[in-house]
Amino acid sequence: MDQISTFWEQIRAPLLVPLLEISAFLCVAMSIMLVVERVCMAVVILAVKASGKKPENKKYKWEAQKDDDVELGKSSVYPSVLVQIPMYNEREVQLLQLFMNL
């Protein structure tokens, strides 16, 4: 046990100090990047507000659906789409559905 502690004492400073210095440098660099991004975004927002331009009024173009039933597949305009909703408690829901059908 004494050998392990002396080995750790010898390797700790040369190994951990450079790693901690690199980590601190990277954290400072990323913080500076975030500050620069926020300042740039603030400048852009202020420039847009100062110019007085407003976004275009985009309205969605829509048409009323025809009388044919889309679910029955009579319409060739709309494709059939299957949407699978993820269920995190599938076993419990499966048991509930089984017992509800009985």
Residue 71 near residue 81 (C-beta atoms within 8 A)? no
Kindly report whether the global pTM for this prediction surpasses the value 0.85.
no
Q: Is the pLDDT of residue 22 over 70?
A: yes
| Torsion angles phi and psi, residue 35, rounded to 5 | -65, -45
**Which residue ranges make up each domain of the chain?**
1-54
Tens digits of residue pLDDT in 38-92: 999 999 999 988 998 776 766 666 666 565 665 665 555 656 666 666 667 777 7
